[in-house]
Amino acid sequence: MLRIAVFVSGGGSNLQNIIDSINDGDLKDVKIARVVASKAGTKAEQRARKHQIPVSIYSLTDDANTAILLDQLTADSVDMLVLAGYLQKISPQLIRAFPDRIINIHPALLPKHGGKGMYGIRPHEAVLAAGEKFTGATVHTVNEEYDQGQILLQREVKVLPEDDAESLQARVMSEAEKIILPQVIQKFALAKKAGAAPFVSDI
């Protein structure tokens, strides 16, 4: 069983997608051991509590909070961290604690339209401003540089002539993010079950 902690900051659409994929049996041998929210009161936190998933509120500005969170993740026997719309930079302590076992979903085809400040609607605005014909989503490992980790999986989405940033964001979510994030998590689960160490190595 792959035990994951899902990090969230906002509405929690990707969190809900993971929950639904587990409940529907599409995502096997995976359990969300904890949800970590960057602030209290988000819809993502509400989604977690509705499904009786433990929630931690975690601020990256305090090393003491990082130590507390690491203790919680250890107690939860968490195998990997999944950043699903998490808008803060991951601390070096967490990266060292989970080497090659932190993944992020980014709403663009990296290395294009990534980096500091490129989150939420901004990548979609940048895609339209650049006149791109295709965009999509990327799942990648997380290191100490924004969006610079190893690309694990991408899925393209066509940019339509009538698209604005909001419509493009919605389609990237439904046609790319919703599909590839569970696929990568499932690969980690299968790798762990097979005894791969580290279990990201063949993904």
Residue 166 C-alpha from the chain's centroid: 20
Q: What is the DSSP letter of 90?
A: P
Per the document, the length of the chain is 203
What pairs with residue 4 in β-bridges? 32, 80
Reply yes or no: is the peptide bond before residue 54 cis, omega within 30 of 0: no
Has 124 been annotated as catalytic? Answer: no
Secondary structure class of 48 (helix, strand, coil): helix
CA distance 23 to 54: 17
Catalytic residue among 51, 106, 113, 140: 106
Residue 93 C-alpha from the chain's centroid: 18
Which residues form the catalytic set? 106
